[in-house]
Structure 1
């Protein structure tokens, strides 16, 4: 459903959000509705509308024309709201239980009206607080396999694949990713942000020519390999989770890119938890890392065998080559994510919320070392167990 709205952008208020909810007939016109702005992100307003009598809820999300962390001096395209809604719809064709339902959209106001997920918890917050999400790796592994296979040349007629690649062109947000993940953290630029105690470690990265060459190769892959429709920002803050349910949200960075990118970003954000945990608690996260890949590879293989349109699908060794490349790419992209979330512009609460300064700095040095090793050793990573071993060797 598309809303009828003004032709120019205008920021919603809580009162305007209530009126908007009534226009799409999501509630009875006589219903008593309340609204609160619950967004804590950097790029959007998020309004939760609730009917007092029934407790029925929905979410109205509106894209901001700039990044809050910078302000109006860093303008952002509002087209990303349309991209986000359309990625949710497309991915929902393959994994409807793993993404929120989209009820309505409006391109002019950069609005998406969607299913409320407040009965779940943001996975990052839950993991930091020691919550267990037993379905997390199973569900994300399946999400990755289904969405990436079905939007790739392996699952689509080439005409449809190229049509979708054009539809989901997202140059403005891709440029943010290019800069913040693949460029800025590897050079001495003003957008980088880190504690003084990390100065030497940051300079070591900037002066590591071998590392920079490998990051340049990964950036080239990101820029040029339009393999599948990615989420584009698949971290634990973009996932709602509970004991028996998982939902992937916020694909506004969605575009056609290398399959290993989504896989790598999710694994990296689990790796942060392996850095901050010890003993059995750490092993729980390691098990999630291993299972994510195992479910992805198993489901991708089944789809390849039963639904692939690839002419060479029966060629001995080709599937193994494809999965091997995805894993190597994912390991490298995970390394870039670890480094950029430690000394780049946008950090993660997994590390920044640690109050003990010495411990926080130690963990961040470990994240930088882990990131470097993953980037440099990605081509030798033949299995997910190899990735786990690299992490073990990098522990300080």
Structure 2
């Protein structure tokens, strides 16, 4: 079994990438899966990330394969080739120790943190749209050689982390699962989901599609907490959930997490919601523009593709909106609101999910965003 990452091991892994002189290691991050250190020395710093053989937030009771280190490293390398400068540089991988060394994005902040604080960061939404277009199309049968595409699929079989998504996103929120975490005030809302046969049926269908639509190498957990930002520079981190899956899952998660930000700022009445509205339109506009730019001329159905991707994004956004309200992992955008506003925001998110999942297919980004952020509740 690989060693457990501690200060001394983090220092040893980082040493070849630091300057001369003494070095220090500091554990950082509050993720659910991995142990992360920042190691500094000789005027340089790097990130050392280790994957323990279990889900960190639960412990030994939920074992996980450490192959997720290899998957994350290979996803970073491939996505870095397809979308240069949109992921941190991968400096080293030590599979025996289930660890990797990464560029330290010092000076960047988690995008969710900036959104909650109402801090505008330029260029991020557009860069994320182009990142999605390049990584999704670039790992699809549309742009890849058929044999290379089949070999790619064998490298990204990720059963343990897919099982987490399948349970925590598509299954548990619609049941009385022990993993769910529900505010006392939202107990009736959670019960309404458990009793909503149409929502359970739709989520079950999306679970089937998540398992069977092998469209592209998706990040698998692309939300505003896995995007690091500075003005004019967005970087995507933590692709350990990467696998060959439905493109709309990535784009839908971006949409849903921006919707949480918009709903929260609407409840606060501070005016920043209008900026978040622009982020969504910038994201989808850049994605669409990049798709048209790289689309092969001998396959003239790019507008059909974008229409289908929009519909899929809406449906997957719905499951993200639900699971972040009644499932295991919440978002600080909503949980940090005052009690009355938080409950109303929770109801609004679930109402939006019902509209996106059970209503007619969305026909435009404006339709999608309106239904994601302005659904009212009694």
TM-score strictly above 0.5 = yes
| 2:351 matches 1:369 | yes
**Segment of structure 1 superposing worse, 345-354 or 239-248:** 345-354
Cα RMSD of the aligned pairs, angstroms, is 1.4
Matching residue within 326, 330, 336 for 1:343: 326
1:76-108 residue CA offsets vs partner (Å, 9 max, x unmatched): 111111111110000000112110000110112
Which stretches of structure 1, 4 residues or more, deviate above 3 A after TM superposition? none
For residue 137 of structure 1, report the CA deviation from its aligned partner. Answer: 0.7
TM-score by length of 2: 0.95
1:245-280 C-alpha deviation (Å, 9 max, x unpaired): 110000000000011110000111110011111363
On the 8 A contact 1:232/1:261 being kept in 2, the answer is yes
Q: Does 1:292 align with 2:247?
A: no
* In 2: Cα distance, 1:11 partner to 1:106 partner: 13
SS at match of 1:34: strand
Aligned partners of 2:291 and 2:302 also within 8 Å: no
1:321–1:104: structure 2 CA closer, same or farther, 3 Å change rule? same
Q: Are 1:179 and 2:162 matched, yes or no?
A: no
Find the counterpart in structure 2 of residue 94 from structure 1.
82
User: 1:152 aligns to what SS in structure 2?
Assistant: coil
1:393 is displaced (CA, Å) by 4.1
1:273-306 deviations in whole A, cap 9, x for unaligned?
1111136311111111111111111101111146
How many residues matched? 374
CA gap 1:393/1:32 in 2 versus in 1, 3 angstroms: closer
Write the distance in 1 (CA, Å) between the matches of 2:14 and 2:203: 46
Aligned residue in 2 for 1:162: 150
Q: 1:327 offset after TM fit, Å?
A: 0.8
Match of 2:10 in 1: 17
Q: Give the deviation of 1:392 after TM superposition.
A: 4.7
Aligned to 2:370: 389
**Alignment partner of 1:328 is 2:311:** yes
How far the C-alpha of 1:395 sits from its partner, in A, is 3.3
Distance in 2 (alpha carbons) for counterparts of 1:210 and 1:40 = 35
CA shift at 1:223, angstroms? 0.7
Show the 5 A alignment for 1:75-114: 75-114=63-102
- The more displaced of 38-47 and 208-217 is 208-217
Q: Which runs of 5+ in 2 are unaligned?
A: none
- Among 196, 200, 207, the alignment partner of 1:208 is 196
Q: Distance in 1 between matches of 2:213 and 2:84?
A: 27
